[in-house]
Homo-oligomer: A and B are copies of this chain.
Amino acid sequence: MSLKATKILKNTPSVIASAAVGGKKEHEGPMGDYFDKINDDPYFSLDTFEQGESQIQKQAVTYALRKAKLRQEDIDVLFGGDLLNQCTGTTYGVRDFEMPFLGIYGACSTMAEGLMLASLFVDGGVSDIAMAVTSSHFCTAERQYRFPLNYGGQRTPTSQWTATAGGALAVSAKTSPPYVRACTIGKIVDMGVTDANNMGAAMAPAAFSTISEFFTDTGLAPQDFDYIVTGDLGKVGSRILCELFERENISIRENHKDCGMMLYSFEEQDVHAGGSGCGCAASMLCGYFIPKLRAGELHNILFAATGALMSPTVNQQGESIPSISHLVWLSHEPDSLTPRSCGKEGC
């Protein structure tokens, strides 16, 4: 079955601004200099970790607006979501902005989904300026998905460290790099993994599915891109992804980057299999990759964030973990590389 899930953007809209927010541990890691705003206090001077996470969202949107010299009333639509039950990190974080808001849920793939929707809205003339935002917070995620921090539970070697971080970006008509060239909407993939402490293994097949579909639909190849960026597969998931491609005689080892492998120092920061959370991929995209694409230090990347679409409730009921990956192609040029048309309008 070959569904054409890849959309080639006719008007190649621009990401006109992006901002990355992080916490203390993210600041201390190798990517610490790429954040626009650092918060040393996990409570963000508020009463609860959840209120703290909402501050990440608020800060990310505020900094992105400021960098784009935009006011909140200039924004036609904001796409946002996060990992918390009912996406409250987002809804409480952005409720004061009075922007038209569409909530999205893609677990850790949320920034790819938001960037895709914002770009398609601008490309199709639905919106002039569209934004996307997401976040995660180590302390809210541990409480919700595993144990409260005070419990002191041991972490397995395959477990990942949820980033206290977030990112926001604004998309508008084509003016300056980076340009959004295409996107591939993911399908849910479930290979039967049931270990909630091994998200990388659950998510890698989803990344493989979507990235493969992009190459098939466009006729482009891994070597056409500076980097193929995944969201937060970590050590375990990244190894599986590379092996899945090698089974098809395709090598992505040379230019594969995983945000979960970039955010922290494995030697010094005790993060086991790497970073994770919506904010991991979002902060690396908004703080590191987009500025480098803008400056021309990078020319073409695929950003394929992945999400594990389970909840503790159904996982405890014995269910396996369905996953998804959404992909966006970002470019320094509006017309470098020529994707094969897939023969459909809007594609």
Contacts and interface: CB of A to CB of B under 8 A. Distances in A.
A188 B88 CA distance: 12
A344 interface: yes
A83 B47 CA distance: 26
B313 A50 contact: yes
Contacts of A188: 91, 94-95, 97-98, 101
Chain copies in the assembled complex: 2
B185 A100 contact: yes
Interface string A315-346: 00101001010100000000000000000111
A310 B86 CA distance: 6
Interface in A107-163: 107, 113, 117, 120-121, 123-128, 144
Interface in A33-54: 47-48, 50-51
B92 A317 contact: no
A98 B345 contact: no
Contacts of A51: 317
Contacts of A346: 124-127
Given A95-B188, A102-B113, 9 more contacts: A1-B98, A3-B99, A4-B76, A85-B311, A86-B310, A86-B311, A94-B188, A95-B190, A117-B117
Contacts of A324: 101, 103
A186 to B, nearest CB: 7
A120 to B, nearest CB: 6
A87 interface: yes
Contacts of A313: 50, 84-85, 88, 144
A81 B105 CA distance: 8
Contacts of A84: 311, 313
A224 to B, nearest CB: 23
